[in-house]
Amino acid sequence: MSRDQVIHTPEEIARIRLAAAVTAQVRDEIAAQARPGMTTFDLDQLAGELIRATGGKSAFLGYRGYPGNICISVNDEVVHGIGTPDRILLDTDIVSIDVGIELDGGIGDTALTFGFGELTPDLKRLLHGTKEALMAGIKQAKRGNCIRDISQAVESTAKKHRLGVVREYVGHGCGVKLHEPPEVPNFVGFGRGALLVPGMVICIEPMLNLGTHKVTTDSHDHWTVRTRDGACAAHFEHMVLITENESEILTWPKTT
């Protein structure tokens, strides 16, 4: 382990792999059960029940004082939205859910954005572009590359789809702790960043906006991050294990 990277042991990786797989299953079940007419509080309570049924616990609840089981961000909310009884989901909404589970010494962390009805062309561009940016970043998450390679792939894909790249919030290492080194920006900054070596687990999570990159934090709950211009935002996140060969997406949806 160094200041800018965490190399996990095989035993840790086994626990992380399990936690990540369980977290992905819970993520997909929450999205499958979400309906217009539910409140975001209903969705958070559903998430809490599903998380407890795994034998694990929310990695977010109580983290730095966060009050929810998961993060639920609607439309112009980028990240860290809190489920509330007065926010009723509409069939025109897009909803981002960010799910973290601590299970048997491992942690899973993953996010996706979805809608209910037929999306507008701009919302389709937003969701498609953000997913494409995530997969472009994952393609660069391989042994011998550096964090900058991931950042450049995400940013160039976002620009191709004319999407703003949030700069205040970034991806990160994860596995035994929720946030571990290194940071994984979605934009190119200074330097190449940490070298990617086998045993690292990183969360790549583009947060992209239909408008500009600028965001603001809610002055009442001090958590919810919104786009400053009111444009809609999307958030997708996968955990990726760096291996000797092709990297492994630990939070990929289960197909069987």
Instruction: Express each pLDDT in 190-206 by its tens digit.
Output: 899 999 999 999 999 99
Residue 255 placed within a domain: no
Query: Domain limits at 89?
Result: 10-249
Identify the sign of the CA torsion 234, 240, 242, 247: negative
Q: Does residue 5 form part of some domain?
A: no
At position 167, the amino acid (one-letter code) is: R
Sequence-ordered list of residues with C-beta below 8 angstroms from that of 164, at least 6 positions apart, any chain: 158, 208, 209, 210, 211, 212, 213, 214, 227, 231
Domain count across the chain? 1
Report if residue 254 sits inside a domain. Answer: no
Tell me, yes or no, whether 20 lies in a domain.
Answer: yes
- The pLDDT value given to residue 151: 99
Averaged pLDDT, 213-238: 98
- Let me know if residue 256 belongs to a domain: no
Report the CATH number at residue 24: 3.90.230.10
DSSP 119: P
CA distance 88 to 97: 15
pTM of this structure: 0.96
- Largest Cα–Cα distance of the chain, in whole Å? 49
Q: Residue 29 falls within a domain, yes or no? A: yes
pLDDT of the residue at 4: 83
Res. 256: pLDDT tops 50: no
Identify whether 61 is part of a domain.
Answer: yes
- pLDDT at residue number 69: 99
| Residue 57 located in a structural domain | yes
